[in-house]
Structure 1
């Protein structure tokens, strides 16, 4: 069984974005694993496995414009179904 079933990926476009601050906030406020936060002050890529992707998306939208959003159900994928 997969502990965190949604593979959540997105880009945040904004100003004065901080990889470290975003990483720390997500780590402290959302349950999940496989967190990846990379980019610069204007564009950040997020990758995170969680059971509450809508909360992560809401937080990220508060930082800037979010786009290229992908949320895949890894339990479905593990069963050979479309995620």
Structure 2
């Protein structure tokens, strides 16, 4: 069984985005692993494994427009099922 079930990925488009601040917020406020938040001040790509993807969506939507949202159940994938 995986510790963190959901592979959560999305793009954030906004103004004055700060990838370091986003990384720090995730580290200090969410339980998960495999964090990747990279980009520039207008576009950030987020990848994160968590059990609470709705919290990630809520936080990121407060930073700007979110799109290309993908949330996959990695336990289902490991069993050969659709994620």
TM-score by length of 2: 0.99
Task: Encode CA deviations 1:61-81: one digit per residue, 9 max, x unaligned.
Answer: 000000000000000000000
Which residue does the alignment assign to 1:27? 27
Distance 2:6 2:31 in 1: 12
- 1:1-83 equivalences in 2 (<5 Å): 1-83=1-83
Aligned length: 83
In angstroms, what is the RMSD of aligned CA positions?
0.3
Q: TM-score normalized by structure 1?
A: 0.99
Q: Structure 1: state its 5+ residue gaps.
A: none
Runs of 4+ in 1 over 3 A off after TM superposition: none
Deviation string, structure 1 residues 16-58 (Cα, Å, up to 9, x no partner) = 0000000000110000000001000000000000000000000
Distance (whole Å) between structure 2 residues aligned to residue 56 and residue 74 of structure 1: 17
